[in-house]
Amino acid sequence: MQRRHLLLAGLGSLAGLALVGPSRLVLAQACAAAPTEPNIEGPFYRPGAPFRSRLVGEMASAPLVISGRVTDAACRPLRGTTIELWQADEHGEYDLDGDRYRGIVRCDANGIFRVETIVPGRYLNGGAYRPAHLHAKVHANGRPVLTTQLYFPGDPQNDSDPWFRPSLLLASGPSPCCYVPNQPHRMTFQFVV
Ligand SMILES: [Fe+2]
């Protein structure tokens, strides 16, 4: 391969490469441009959850830390965003009387959030188990509320669930691989609204 072709191949492999004007190259910030898909609210939403970044008081059996960002389609952080989260407990039960495993998380000025919870249990819906999931409502200033759900890669119920969407899979965080007792699963997700 000629030297010029090698140079072009190398440039083309850079993520987010964009041409601006006839002679200027600008590296754009990597961005998940597609808006996050909405998903059903389900029957267990309760408004008025407390503001907190930990959805349960005591350390539970399958701790989970989810971190990520909320941005617009151009990767600009949406400061002032809040995320309502609600989920089943480890037995697949929702707290219908209180706020166990419910909470509202605030994003910082860079749109970054972090929440501590547990891996939710699966529950029967009709004759089939739903895959493990969390429910979310993303409130970004001046934008329609995004109601969606987050799913776990590798859950055997994903493929048979009518509401599962691959785009809503959590990604493994800095410590991928296997569950280690007393060490939290670390997952990430970027909301685009
Ligand atoms: Fe649910």
| CA atoms of 71 and 139, how far apart (whole Å) | 12
| CA atoms of 108 and 82, how far apart (whole Å) | 9
Helix or strand or coil: residue 152? Answer: coil
Handedness of CA 118, 94, 148, 165 (dihedral sign): positive
Domain boundaries, the chain: 1-30, 31-192
What is the chain's length? Answer: 193
Q: DSSP for 37-103?
A: PP----TT--S-PPB-SBSSSS--SSEEEEEEEEE-TT--B-TT-EEEEEE--TTS---SSS-TTEE
> Is the CB of residue 9 less than 8 Å from the CB of residue 1?
yes
Mean pLDDT by 10 residues, the chain (193 residues): 40 36 41 87 96 81 89 91 96 94 96 94 93 97 95 93 96 60 79 96
- Residue 108 host element (H or E): none
Residues 6+ apart with CB under 8 A from 116: 53, 54, 55, 63, 64, 65, 184
- What pLDDT does residue 79 have? 86
135 is catalytic: yes
76 CA distance to ligand 1 middle (Å): 30
Angle at 43 between CA 144 and CA 146, to 5 degrees: 15
179 is catalytic: no
> Which residues have beta carbons under 5 A from ligand 1 (an ion)?
42
148 CA distance to ligand 1 middle (Å): 10
- What pLDDT does residue 82 have? 98
- What pLDDT does residue 172 have? 83
66 token code pair:
């989810």
- What pLDDT does residue 11 have? 35
- What pLDDT does residue 25 have? 36
How many other C-beta atoms are found inside a 10 Å radius of the C-beta of residue 91? 9
pTM over 0.85: no
Looking at CATH, the fold of the domain delimited by 31-192 is given as Protocatechuate 3,4-Dioxygenase, subunit A (2.60.130)
